[in-house]
């Protein structure tokens, strides 16, 4: 197996941790192609059905890889390494991507690189930028809400995370209560446009330090809808935009308050966000306010690099390739793959 050192590094990366089959091909830090095959089958269930997700990955993986190779105009023998998401994620979904990556690595005789999905969300911020280290990153996705301190690309440590539901899941569940489609985040954002964000207020969770909790907020939201609908069965219909604006505002406030606390606690001014919820325009605006408050630079990845994507797996593996962090094909996927906790 030959490892290139001073030449271009070309990586084929696969992301399959949840319900998106994504393949990217990168040349050094440049993303040549990033294809995401979405799975529509989950829509009618209002959430991801794991068994259906792995079956869809199996259907999508070959055409997605073929298309990525075709669009990148890279030939298979130019590829220097194959990267895949080892976890965290859904077991069946991870297995499809990992098995395919291992087979490619063996057949092309190229090294294999395993990537932690949460680390990749953070490093998505390095795709079009050269971040100033250390920085603090808040990752807000469908499955996770986590704050990390990034000392450098190889040292990413958790300083806070949710003790129950994620922020993305809260968007999704509240949207479901309102009869909106899955995924709920974009639906709530769309319907909040002409709403009053102060129309309804919800109690903020009291969680010490940098950890989050969203389960109480979800219950709070459900009770409000149930109580108001007793005397007014059209309550949701009449107040949809106010309900969406108010829940969106509350979730964003909880997130930005903790990020603000992290900046002060660690005296680190450089900040970043990532994950699917980072696509939310109001959330982006709140981060830009923090940027102004601390006179710093906030990194916000492009929309296509915020939700699950293989470009973030490619950039993460680029750094691993440069330091020869390869893995054996005998490695197992890890649905609960954890990042290191920050040790004060
Ligand atoms: P990910 O797990 O990173 O792919 O992100 C998916 C999650 O992001 C889901 O919970 C979506 O509801 C949420 N999401 C996507 N777009 C938005 C948006 N515009 N506003 C709020 N949440 C969003
Ligand atoms: Mg994700």
Whether residues 26 and 98 share a domain: the answer is yes
Whether residues 98 and 209 share a domain: the answer is no
* Closest residue by CA, ligand 1 atom 21: 185
| Strand bridging mode 10-15 / 20-27 | antiparallel
Please say if the pLDDT value at position 72 is more than 90: yes
Instruction: Give DSSP secondary structure letters for 96-162.
Output: HHHHHHHHHHHHHT--EEEEEHHHHHHHGGGSS--PPSSEEEEEE-SS-EEEEEEEETTEEEEEEEB
- Rounded to the nearest whole angstrom, what is the distance from the C-alpha of residue 226 to the centroid of ligand 2? 31
Whether residues 281 and 204 share a domain: the answer is yes
Residue of 85, 279, 287 with the most ligand 1 atoms within 8 Å of its CB, for mutation: 279
State which ligand 1 atom lies nearest to the alpha carbon of 306.
3
In a domain, 325, yes or no: yes
Domain of residue 180, residue span: 131-301
In a domain, 3, yes or no: no
In a domain, 98, yes or no: yes
Instruction: Give DSSP secondary structure letters for 218-266.
Output: HHHHHHHHHHHHHH-TTHHHHHHHHHHHHHHHHHHHHHHHHHHHHHHHH
Mean pLDDT of 210-228: 97
pLDDT mean across residues, the chain = 95
How many distinct structural domains can be found in the chain? 2
Whether residues 281 and 143 share a domain: the answer is yes
Whether residues 154 and 193 share a domain: the answer is yes
* Closest residue by CA, ligand 1 atom 9: 142
CATH number of 244's domain: 3.30.420.40
Counting residues of the chain whose pLDDT is more than 70, the rounded percentage is 98
Whether residues 151 and 297 share a domain: the answer is yes
Quote the CA–CA distance of 84 and 68 in Å, as a whole number.
Answer: 15
In a domain, 2, yes or no: no
Among all bound ligands, the one having the nearest atom to the CA of 48 is 1
In a domain, 84, yes or no: yes
Give the tens place of pLDDT for each residue, 148-202: 999 999 999 999 999 999 999 999 999 999 999 989 999 999 999 999 999 999 9
Whether residues 145 and 238 share a domain: the answer is yes
Whether residues 203 and 330 share a domain: the answer is no
């Amino acid at each position: 197996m030959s490892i290139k050192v001073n030449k271009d590094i070309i990586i084929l990366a696969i992301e399959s941790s949840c319900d998106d089959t994504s393949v990217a091909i990168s040349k050094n830090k440049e993303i040549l192609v990033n294809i995401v095959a979405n799975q529509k089958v989950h829509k009618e269930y209002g959430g991801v059905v794991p068994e259906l997700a792995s079956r869809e990955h199996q259907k999508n993986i070959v055409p997605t890889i073929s298309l990525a190779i075709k669009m990148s105009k890279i030939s298979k023998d130019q590829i220097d390494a194959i990267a895949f998401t080892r976890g965290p994620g859904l077991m069946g979904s991870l297995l499809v991507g990992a098995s395919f990556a291992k087979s490619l690595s063996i057949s092309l005789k190229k090294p294999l690189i395993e990537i932690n999905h949460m680390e990749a969300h953070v490093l998505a911020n390095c795709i079009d930028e050269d971040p100033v280290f250390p920085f603090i990153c808040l990752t807000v996705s469908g499955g996770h809400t986590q704050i990390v301190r990034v000392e450098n690309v190889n040292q990413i440590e958790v300083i806070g995370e949710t003790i129950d539901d994620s922020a993305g899941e809260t968007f999704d569940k509240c949207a479901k209560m309102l009869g909106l489609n899955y995924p709920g985040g974009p639906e709530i954002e769309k319907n909040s446009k002409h709403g009053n964000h102060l129309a309804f207020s919800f109690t903020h969770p009291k969680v010490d330090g940098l950890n989050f909790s969203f389960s109480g907020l979800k219950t709070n939201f459900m009770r409000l809808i149930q109580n108001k609908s007793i005397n007014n069965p059209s309550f949701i219909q009449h107040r949809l935009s106010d309900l969406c604006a108010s829940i969106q505002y509350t979730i964003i406030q909880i997130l930005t308050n903790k990020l603000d606390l992290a900046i002060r606690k660690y005296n680190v001014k450089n900040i970043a966000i990532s994950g699917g919820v980072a696509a939310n325009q109001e959330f982006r605006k709140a981060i830009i306010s923090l940027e102004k408050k601390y006179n710093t630079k906030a990194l916000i990845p492009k929309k296509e690099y915020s939700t699950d994507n293989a470009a973030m797996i490619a950039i993460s593996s680029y750094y691993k390739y440069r330091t020869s962090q390869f893995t054996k094909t005998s490695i197992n996927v890890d649905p609960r793959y954890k990042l290191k906790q920050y040790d004060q």
